[in-house]
Amino acid sequence: MFNRIMSLLQADAAPAKEKRFERVQVATCALLMEVAHSDGHYKAVEAKIVHELLANTFNLSPATVTELVDYSHQHRQDSADLFQFAREINTHFSREEKADVMEGVWRVIYADGTLDKFEDALARQLATLLRLDHQDVIERKMKVLNEVRSAEKN
């Protein structure tokens, strides 16, 4: 019994690499889900983009992404704020990876072709929480917006 307690305590003191990635996956998913829900509507196109972003970012199977979304959804609802999720991303992601997350945020926002005031406010808050330069955020936003406009023309 003593050994079991000690192993649990040691596991918490020095989390395994897999555990850190699990937390960063949950954190990333929770932020994307928060953005998807920020306008009061969670549309199928937003869900599709969230799933694609998670699958590509973390190299996950569709079934694993579905489990991650379900798990993260509960954490997102139980959370008082977004800081804990941003802190996890800041701890484990490089500047470029955080900019990729922000690009994903813009993809979710523009999934329905519009930017509403709640989405815009949340994007600004997330950019601050992720400690991203304004220029990086705008570049990623414009990249996504240009892709959306090009797709609409075709």
- The reported pTM is 0.82
Tokens matching residue 101:
């997350």
Q: Is pLDDT at 142 greater than 60 in this prediction?
A: yes
Q: Is pLDDT at 24 greater than 80 in this prediction?
A: yes
Predicted confidence at residue 19, as pLDDT, reads 52
- 31-45, 75-89, 123-137, 139-153: which is most confident: 123-137
Residue 34 belongs to what domain range? 2-153
**51-110 tens-digit pLDDT:** 999 999 999 999 999 999 988 888 787 787 899 999 999 999 999 999 999 999 999 999
Q: Residue 139: which CATH number?
A: 1.10.3680.10
The number of domains in the chain is 1
